[in-house]
């Protein structure tokens, strides 16, 4: 039990560190889009920009997770394995994305109701970051226990 907990904590630490690359991609793309190309409306800044930035971060995070965080759990390094894992990773990331949106919108509406940061250009990016904290933890657990979950080994003699 202790070794399993140690392994989960090791993966959580590795996932957290490597996902900083995805976080940087997400925040940078979101900021770039929401302050330049998509700065014309609420929907563009708080729906379209985070959708694009989240998918860019998902791709970044998957490549790192596949080749670094859970590499010892991938016995087949084929193209088929890569794309199968990517499809599952992207699907669970969609659940994390929905969680991120719910938190992000909630924080935004909290700021609006408190009349806080409404003139700050970084307010959408701050809401995005807070949403990412929640979605990242959810995403880790989906990866650790489902996508890259350990395969149980049958004891010899069992059928």
Tokens of 48: 């379209």
- Concatenating the DSSP letter of every residue in 100-149 gives HHHHHHHHHHHHHHHT-STT-TTHHHHHHHHHHHHHHHHHHHHIIIIITP
85 exposure class (CB count in 10 Å sphere: 0-12, 13-18, 19+): buried
Tokens of 78: 């084929």
**Is a pLDDT exceeding 70 seen at residue 159?**
no
Q: Which of 76-85, 87-96, 133-142 is predicted least confidently?
A: 133-142
Averaged pLDDT score across all residues of the chain? 84
Q: What pLDDT sits at residue 32?
A: 93
What does the pLDDT look like over 7-35, one tens digit per residue? 888 888 888 888 788 889 988 998 899 88
What does the pLDDT look like over 31-72, one tens digit per residue? 899 889 988 888 888 889 988 998 898 899 889 888 888 888
């Amino acid at each position: 039990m202790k070794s399993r907990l140690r392994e989960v904590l090791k993966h959580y630490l590795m996932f957290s560190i490597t996902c900083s690359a995805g976080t940087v991609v997400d925040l940078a793309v979101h900021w770039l889009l929401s302050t330049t190309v998509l700065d014309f409306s609420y929907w563009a800044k708080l729906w379209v920009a985070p959708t694009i930035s989240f998918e860019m971060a998902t791709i970044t995070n998957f490549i790192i997770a596949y080749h670094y965080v859970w590499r010892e759990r991938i016995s087949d390094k084929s193209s088929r394995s890569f794309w199968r894992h990517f499809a599952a990773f992207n699907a669970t990331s969609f659940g994390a994305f929905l969680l991120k949106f719910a938190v992000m919108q909630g924080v935004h509406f909290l700021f609006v109701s408190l009349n806080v940061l409404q003139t700050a250009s970084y307010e959408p990016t701050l809401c995005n970051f807070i949403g990412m904290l929640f979605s990242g933890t959810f995403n880790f657990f989906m990866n650790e226990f489902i996508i890259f979950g350990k395969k149980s080994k049958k004891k010899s003699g069992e059928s």
